[in-house]
Amino acid sequence: MQDRPTGIWILGILNVLGGIGLLFASVYLSFNLDRVQPALDQLGLPPGLLAVGMYFLSGLTLASGVGMFLGTRWGWWCSTFYYVYGIVRNLSAMATVSMLADEIGTGDRGAEYYYMKFGGRAVVALLLYLYLLRGNVIEYFGVQDVNKGKAFGIQFGITMLLFGISTAVSWFAVE
C-alpha cells in the first residue's frame, strides 16, 4: 500500500473528531427534542427526521474518517460520498434560505450571510471532493479502476434519493 497522503491524514482526523462530536450532539438532541420542537415546527421538520439525519451524518463522517486511515476502497467511497452529500446539502440550504426568508425571516444578518455561509461550505466540500480524485490519493485507496464520472453520478443519485425521501417524510409528517 502507498504511504498515506498528508491531506488524507488531516481529513481523517477531522472526520473522526467531527463524527464523534456530531454523534454526541445527536444523542443530546435525541434527549432534548422538546427544546427544539418550536423551531422545527416553524421549519416543518419532524424531530425524528432531524435525529435520524444527524445519526446518519455522524455515522457517515466517522466511517469516512476511519476509511481514510485504513486506506480501503470503501473508505474512498464513504469519503467521496460524504463530500458529494455535503455539496448538495449546502446548496439545498441556500435554496431553503431563499424560500423561507420571507416567511420566517433571516434575523439581523440577512439572507446574504446565509448564502455566503452555505455557498462557502459547498465550495469547500467541492474542493475536498476534487482532492480525493488526485492521483496520489486514488493510488492510496487503490481505486484507479473506478470510473470517477460514474462514481459521482451514483453518489449524486443516492444523495438525491435521500433528499427525496426526507422531503416526502417531512410532507407526510406535517400533514
Residue pLDDT, tens place only, 28-73: 988 888 888 887 777 777 888 888 899 999 999 999 999 999 999 9
> Among candidates 91, 128, 123, 127, which has minimal Cα distance to 15?
128
What is the rounded average pLDDT of the residues 86-106?
81
User: What is the per-residue pLDDT across 131-148, written as a single tens digit (0 to 9) for each?
Assistant: 999 999 999 999 999 999
Name which residue leads in pLDDT, 94 or 175: 94
CA distance 172 to 103: 21
| pTM, rounded to two decimals | 0.87
Q: What is the pLDDT of residue 107?
A: 67
For the chain, domain boundaries: 6-169
